[in-house]
């Protein structure tokens, strides 16, 4: 009976202080769609990567869970996002899966987020999440380099 009490105390102690010592960071790659043909009846698809790295400071293990959210970008809306080249724009969007059925946003409206959770041990755990982009077909795009900037937020 005494042994069980000692084991519980050792297992519970890290859980109580754990939230204060988990440290997570995020990075993302650029999504490059390449050349857009305004006469093509096929959408232009591409993908990028979001990397979340989490580590601990001095604890044996911790259950870490987080939610990844994407901002609207320069258009100020998720439906659709817009890339710009000077005064010219092209509609596009970012999705949570390769099926491109859920717009990756902040969870409001009809947008979704990506959530994950795992037991974080000593060292650093790195997880990768694919971001699936699509430029719809048959837009009246002009020649140029189109850009947008998206803020990635990880809440844990």
pLDDT digits 0-9 by tens, 74-132: 999 999 999 999 999 999 999 999 999 999 999 999 999 999 999 988 889 999 999 99
d(CA 44, CA 40): 9
Give CA 56 to chain center in angstroms: 21
- Beta-bridge mates of residue 44: 135
d(CA 6, CA 18): 19
Question: Quick one: tokens of 90?
Answer: 């092209």
> What is the pLDDT averaged over residues 23-52?
95
- Give the three-class secondary structure for 86: coil
The confidence score (pLDDT) of residue 130 equals 98
Q: Say if residue 9's pLDDT is above 70.
A: no
Q: pTM, whole model, 2 decimals?
A: 0.83
Residue with tokens 């099926």: 99
Give the angle 32-35-38 at the CA atoms, nearest 5°. Answer: 125
Question: Quick one: tokens of 114?
Answer: 């990506």
The confidence score (pLDDT) of residue 3 equals 24
Residue 40: band (very low, low, confident or very high) from pLDDT cuts 50, 70, 90: very high
């Amino acid at each position: 009976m005494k042994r069980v009490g000692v084991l519980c105390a050792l297992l519970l102690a890290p859980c109580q202080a754990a939230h204060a010592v988990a440290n997570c960071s995020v990075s993302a790659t650029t999504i490059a769609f390449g050349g857009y043909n305004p006469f093509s009846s096929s959408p232009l698809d591409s993908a990028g990567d979001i990397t979340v790295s989490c580590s601990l400071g001095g604890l044996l293990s911790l259950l870490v869970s987080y939610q990844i959210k994407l901002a609207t970008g320069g258009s100020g809306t998720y439906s659709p996002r817009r890339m710009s080249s000077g005064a010219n724009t092209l509609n596009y969007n970012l999705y949570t899966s390769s099926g491109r059925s859920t717009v990756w946003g902040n969870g409001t409206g009809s947008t979704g987020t990506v959530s994950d959770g795992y037991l974080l041990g000593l060292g650093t755990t790195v997880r990768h999440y694919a971001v699936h982009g699509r430029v719809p077909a048959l837009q009246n795009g002009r020649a140029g380099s189109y850009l947008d900037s998206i803020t990635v937020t990880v809440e844990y």
